[in-house]
Amino acid sequence: MPVSTPYQVLVVGNPVLNTRSDDVTDVDGKFVKLCEDMFTTMYAAPGIGLAAPQIGVQKRFFVYDLGAGDGQQVLINPEITGSGGEMEYFEGCLSIPGLHFDIVRPERIGVKGRDLEGNEVEFEADDLLARLIQHELDHLDGILMLERMDDDQRKQALKKIRELQMKAAGVPEPEPKRSFFRLR
């Protein structure tokens, strides 16, 4: 039986995912509860990061947990302050379920924002954390990883997405084309 979650993760095709989010201006008890519910949704997906727009909330924050002993983290109104290097990662997205592609992103980034207590935070990230932050920040800017792909990857991804959407809608797969000819 599927696990019940507070929110459903929106999938590609939903216009909310292509809209830039507004800054968070108020961190109160309601906001903290929203973050807790997002963690529940993220773990059930399962994922390591979840941006507010992915659950239909147009605010600039995301939750994450790398499972590396640092625990649950919330980054509010994040900004990338610098970057260096370049690395290709095999990346997936909860809003594009079941698909993974090689995406090129900066290897190291500088980040600033606010934590759940409203404190300003500033740090450097590399490897998985840098990739996660860049991926979630893209969601806050209304960018899906499809826009980070080269043309061939994007065509392949869009074809797979259409197939998944048709399957989910119960549309039967087309019969393979047959050629008929007559022998004389």
136 catalytic per annotation: yes
In total, the chain counts a number of residues equal to 184
What is the distance, to the nearest Å, from the Cα of residue 2 to the centroid of all Cα atoms in its chain? Answer: 21
The CB density around residue 43, as the number of other CB atoms within 10 Å, is: 16
Beta bridge partners of 111: 80, 123
Q: Which of 36, 86, 88, 136 is catalytic?
A: 136
For residue 24 the two structure tokens come to 């968070």
Cα–Cα distance between 135 and 119 in angstroms, integer?
23
**Catalytic machinery residues:** 136
